[in-house]
């Protein structure tokens, strides 16, 4: 179990991904329970996204975090699955690549990266 946690933490901290056509950069608004999170797109659309088991029970996921969501066409309220958590360095990489959305909601990322990394280190 410890190796799996270490692998997931390493993946979150060291992977820099770019979004594709089916993926969206969204902001977590609130947790709805049962590993469902309400997210908002840069256009202001709100929908539910599910949290996969590999990200559950980790302290860095919370309100105001930015995530990469794989959209699901079929389904009612549930329209996506969280595939990657975005930290400050990854957001800066997306801005440098020119794929960060131009929106007032997404203008200044308010992530406390050092604090989040310290929580991760202490968690393991």
Answer yes or no: are the C-beta atoms of 58 and 50 closer than 8 Å. Answer: no
pLDDT tens sequence across 39-76: 999 999 999 999 887 776 665 677 888 889 999 888 78
pLDDT for the residue 15: 66
Site of tokens 């820099």: 16
pLDDT for the residue 38: 95
Answer yes or no: are the C-beta atoms of 82 and 49 closer than 8 Å. Answer: yes
Answer yes or no: are the C-beta atoms of 98 and 20 closer than 8 Å. Answer: no
The pTM for the full model equals: 0.73
For all residues of the chain together, what is the average pLDDT?
Answer: 76
pLDDT for the residue 124: 42
What pLDDT band is residue 109 in, cutting at 50, 70 and 90? very low
């Amino acid at each position: 179990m410890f190796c799996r946690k270490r692998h997931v933490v390493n993946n979150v901290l060291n992977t820099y991904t770019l979004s594709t056509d089916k993926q969206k950069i969204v902001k977590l608004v609130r947790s709805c329970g049962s590993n469902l999170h309400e997210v908002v797109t840069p256009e202001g659309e709100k929908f539910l996204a599910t949290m996969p088991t590999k990200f559950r029970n980790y302290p860095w996921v919370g309100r105001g975090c930015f995530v990469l969501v794989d959209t699901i066409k079929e389904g009612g309220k549930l329209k996506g699955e969280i595939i990657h958590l975005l930290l400050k360095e990854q957001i800066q990489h997306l801005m440098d690549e020119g794929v960060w959305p131009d929106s007032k909601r997404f203008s200044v990322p308010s992530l406390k990266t050092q604090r989040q990394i310290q929580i991760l280190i202490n968690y393991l």
